[in-house]
Amino acid sequence: MDSTERRRGRTALIVALAAVLGVAGGTAVGYGIQAQREPTALPALNQVDFRLPARLPRTQKVTPLSASEDRRVRTDGDLRKLLLPKPAGAKSAGFGFGDGWMSVREYASNFDQPDSALSYQLELGVRRVAATSWRVGKYRTTEIRLVQYRSTTVNGAREHIDDQQGYMPGEDMARSEGEPLSGSADGRYYLFPVEKEPGYLDLYEARAYAHRGDIAIEIFVHDTKKISAKDIKSLAERQLGRL
């Protein structure tokens, strides 16, 4: 504080003291007059009743979510544990990812243009891919992939699933628009028409695409016999239920 401010403060203090002394002198005279009068009742105070309740409500106890209830804890853990388990009696389909992990490059190699697919997945923020597969009977194979994306301004899982579903109507399928999955706002399953080629067994295919949070779900089923809508729908909804 500089000297100018200090002098201005002393002047204000002197004026304030004078005012207090003046008020005190007037108050003394007033007390002398009031002492000679009969006491008069004070008017009732006009204010809101602030009475407290007889019993205050107890503070509600907040119980933290368990690991099984907290979705973020589950999905940030071992992603492979969220894959559907192999059915009893199922055998390995021989797709090569026995430890449950698929590298991003290996994942991109499944697309028609692997290099472009890899660049696109990196732009979406792909983080990791967990996969499982099995064979039931002689020919029916099932593959499930959980593709997890990083938290960015883009919801990579939704973008990827939207892209794949947008591609489906371009296929020559009996139900090109797919059918909805319960428990998902935009999940759908698709049944392909049979592929016939001389000298080969008939080939049937069904797919399901959905996403939940930062995880995209892809399911592929192949068989030499017709795949029912019930089979692919049930499979996809059970996988959704684990996320």
Domain of 119: which CATH number? 3.40.1000
Residue 233 counted as domain residue: yes
219: CB partners within 8 A, 6+ apart: 142, 143, 144, 145, 189, 207, 208, 209, 232, 235, 236, 239
CB atoms within 10 A of CB 236: 28
State residue 177's pLDDT score: 77
Is 207 a member of any domain?
A: yes
64: in domain:
no
Is 60 within the bounds of a domain?
no
Q: Which two three-digit tokens encode residue 219?
A: 């399911």
- pTM comes to 0.69
- What span, in angstroms and rounded, lies between the C-alpha atoms of 205 and 224? 9
For 161, residues 6+ apart whose C-beta sits below 8 A from its C-beta are: 186, 187, 209, 210, 211, 216, 217
Domain count, the chain: 1
| Structure token pair of residue 232 | 């692919």
Q: Is residue 220 part of a domain?
A: yes
Residue 70 forms part of a structural domain: no
**Max CA separation in the chain (angstroms):** 127
pLDDT of residue 213: 95
The residue type found at 29 is V
The answer to whether residue 12 sits within a structural domain is no
What string of pLDDT tens digits covers the 243 residues of the chain? Answer: 333 323 333 333 333 333 333 433 443 434 343 444 455 555 554 554 545 555 545 555 555 555 455 455 556 789 999 999 999 999 988 777 768 999 999 999 999 999 999 999 999 999 999 999 999 999 999 999 999 999 988 999 999 999 999 988 766 554 567 899 999 989 999 999 999 999 999 999 999 999 999 999 999 999 999 999 999 999 999 999 999
The span from the CA of 167 to the CA of 31, in Å, is 95
Structural domain span for residue 204: 91-241
pLDDT of 57 reads: 56
Residue 180: its pLDDT value, please?
Answer: 95
Q: Evaluate whether residue 159 is within a structural domain.
A: yes
